[in-house]
Amino acid sequence: MVDVFFDKLKLIQDDDAFRIGTFPFSKMYRLIAWIPFHHREFKAYKKLNLVEKVAGLNNKLKNHIAGEMGKYLGIQFEELEAEITDFPVEYDTPLIYKGFGYIAYDILFKANVELPPFLTLGNNKSMGYGRIVPL
């Protein structure tokens, strides 16, 4: 049986410590089949120039980390930093869900938080999209 303790700073399972919060350094992650936009937002995203697209994706990433992790764990991340470092894959074929097409990306990113493996971020995460893999 796993004994779990929450105090908004730490999650401890057995003898392994998992720290929740920001760090003074960044860790690298891969996000697999991340769907950052709802189909309505994607139409506006397609009209942006490259610089605006990158800034928009970085903002989405930060919002997904802070909003989703923070929401479910009941914490706020002070001084959260997250930045996409590479786009190894943009899926050519939209993923169809409930009749709408969603564009998914595999990205590499760095963040100054510790993210558990197999946590999912973004849209359609309940379907397994947006799975985090620490590097």
pLDDT at 1 over 70: no
- pLDDT (0 to 100) of residue 83: 94
- Topology adopted by domain 22-134: Alpha-Beta Plaits (3.30.70)
Confidence band (pLDDT; 50, 70, 90) for 37?
confident
SS (H, E, C) 63-121: HHHHHHHHHHHCCCCCCCCEEEEEEEEECCCCEEECCEEECCEEEEEEEEECCCCCCEC
DSSP H/E element including 2: none
The model's pTM is 0.78
Lowest mean pLDDT among 6-20, 41-55, 75-89, 102-116: 6-20
User: What is the percent of the chain where pLDDT is above 90?
Assistant: 30
More confident residue, 42 or 30: 30
Domain boundaries, the chain: 22-134
pLDDT in tens, 86-119: 987 777 778 887 888 888 889 999 999 888 888 8
